[in-house]
Structure 1
Amino acid sequence: MNAKVWLVGAGPGDPELLTLKAVRALRSADVVMIDSLVNPAVLEHCPTANVIGVGKRGGCRSTPQAFIQRLMLRYARQGKCVVRLKGGDPCIFGRGSEEADWLRERSIEVELVNGITAGLAGATHCDIPLTLRGVARGVTLVTAHTEDDSALNWQALAQSGTTLVVYMGVAKLEDVRRALLAGGMAASTPVAMIENASLPQQRACYSDLTGMYDAAVGFALKAPAVLVIGDVAARGASQEVFSQDQRAMALALERARMQG
């Protein structure tokens, strides 16, 4: 596997969601270039590799994309097996295909390895199915942040009848809310805002479309987070209420036990 670049999705954060193929690539790696959102625990699969941080975070100092590409090229031309380890999936808002094309144009062998994307994992951890018979017949993944600041066709998205999963939307919550309402989406549409998908510190805030900005402010929602917008999000909200009731009942039983 020498002289090759693997573009590997590390998943949303939970190291147990790493695929077997990703583990195989890591075990073969001479050099691992790791993004800032990747859980460092996955590095146990490549204990002898040279690990290089190449983080890219919105609003923070980031490693330039051109530098990352040149670095991959340099190590590959040295005969190294290089793993570019990305959060989530490399081909869902991860520039995987761009990097693969750039390297292949320079005669470097490249293989992409899928990872579980944050929208799917975060929703599942909240008991939200992104598709559900009779409720949501499809799912649309979009990003609220574009490199050229071009606008999405929010009217088409609002009327698509699919569950919307919005990435990189924390800084543009109010813009997303207004655009979907203006596009004709019902004000009562359920919304789940999920922070740190799949990690032990995952949190979720539930609202409807009208109140989602105020709810997020009150919740102190922070990136990385995904928005799940659609009727299926109500399942997560009902599960959260049920969990709160369970906790209250358990507390009451414990108090009764101690008093008795």
Structure 2
Amino acid sequence: MSVTQSYPQSCGFVSLVGAGPGDPDLLTVKGLRVIQQAQVVVYDRLVSQAILDLAPAQAERIYVGKQLDFHCVPQQQINQILVDKARQGLHVVRLKGGDSFIFGRGGEELEVLADHHIAYEVVPGITAAAGATAYAGIPLTHREHAQSVQFITGHLQQDGSPINWQALAQSNQTLVFYMGLKQSPHIAEQLISGGLAKDTQCAIIEKGTTPQQRVLRGELAQLSELAVQAQSPALIVVGSVTALHDKLAWFGE
């Protein structure tokens, strides 16, 4: 197993790195090594200062963070930054919260790099659904509760594609909605209309894996009431596994 890696000096190179869900200790060993070698760090809002501080002091830091209803830097401009910095012969670390390939638009950014013949690598990160639920004591699967799990973006139907709510409302699975606080009334309404019982257990995990983590528990019919008490970033988890939080919670309790 290689423990060191050198990056091209004569041409640009981009490392797409998932920073994990919040706790800096959840950054992968490879992610740490790559960040420590960065010449430019292009980072999002959910990347913690503790992780940014791992980059060399002389590395250029470019904030391109996004949040609900406000994009600091348009995606097209982010793509151009990556291309321009790489063309300057620099090692660019594109740093995203969670995992870059799960609702992180990492694939879109790599397509642009590929179109411009820029070399790149991907360093996976722990996605928020896995990290936040683990810290909340909520198993995503459990033999007595859920045999499968689905991750769904809360930015529902922005591309015009219909959502099969009846399929999502099947029993014996866990549903995790990213970025779903604003859409929580719609989510609850559609799941119930699709056949999921109103008393299905659910949870909202706010700022998961950080010292500010908070878990709000209730029933599906109460989801919108829970959501108004929560702040972003937060995950919505629907399914009977969420009831296990009361027994298995270990972090910050």
How far apart, CA to CA, are the structure 2 residues paired with 1:82 and 1:236?
40
Aligned to 1:198: 209
Larger Rg: 1
Q: 2:42 pairs with 33, 42, 53, which one? A: 33
Deviation at 1:239, TM superposition (A): 4.7
Aligned to 2:26: 17
Aligned to 1:256: none
| Residues 151 and 168 of structure 1: CA distance in aligned 2, closer, same or farther (over 3 Å) | farther
Deviation at 1:243, TM superposition (A): 10
Say if 2:91 is the partner of 1:81. yes
Query: Is the Cα contact below 8 Å between 1:158 and 1:180 reproduced in 2?
Result: yes
Say if 2:184 is the partner of 1:173. yes
Unaligned runs of 5+ in 2: 1-6
Query: Is the Cα contact below 8 Å between 1:206 and 1:237 reproduced in 2?
Result: no
Aligned to 1:232: 241
| Alignment: residue pair count | 242
**Structure 1 residue ranges, 4+ long, deviating more than 4 angstroms after superposition:** none
Say if 2:77 is the partner of 1:67. yes
How far apart, CA to CA, are the structure 1 residues paired with 2:99 and 2:23?
13
How far apart, CA to CA, are the structure 2 residues paired with 1:160 and 1:142?
16
Q: Which piece of structure 1 moves more, 78-87 or 20-29?
A: 20-29
**TM-score (normalizing by structure 2):** 0.90
Deviation at 1:101, TM superposition (A): 1.4
| Residues 100 and 61 of structure 1: CA distance in aligned 2, closer, same or farther (over 3 Å) | closer
CA deviation vs aligned residue, 1:193-243 (integer Å, no higher than 9, x gap)? 0010111001110001112222333xx211110011111000013456x99
3-state secondary structure, aligned to 2:175: strand
| Residues 157 and 41 of structure 1: CA distance in aligned 2, closer, same or farther (over 3 Å) | same
Unaligned runs of 5+ in 1: 248-260
Q: Which piece of structure 1 moves more, 59-68 or 195-204?
A: 59-68
Aligned to 1:184: 195
Q: Percent of aligned positions with the same letter in both sequences?
A: 43
Give the partner amino acid of 2:241.
V
Aligned to 1:49: 59
How far apart, CA to CA, are the structure 1 residues paired with 2:34 and 2:24?
15
**TM-score (normalizing by structure 1):** 0.88
| Residues 5 and 160 of structure 1: CA distance in aligned 2, closer, same or farther (over 3 Å) | farther
How far apart, CA to CA, are the structure 1 residues paired with 2:167 and 2:111?
30
Say if 2:170 is the partner of 1:159. yes
> Which structure carries more helix by proportion?
1
Q: Which piece of structure 1 moves more, 86-95 or 131-140?
A: 131-140
Give the partner amino acid of 2:175.
L
Deviation at 1:60, TM superposition (A): 2.2
Say if 2:149 is the partner of 1:139. yes
Q: Which piece of structure 1 moves more, 54-63 or 9-18?
A: 54-63
How far apart, CA to CA, are the structure 2 residues paired with 1:189 and 1:172?
18
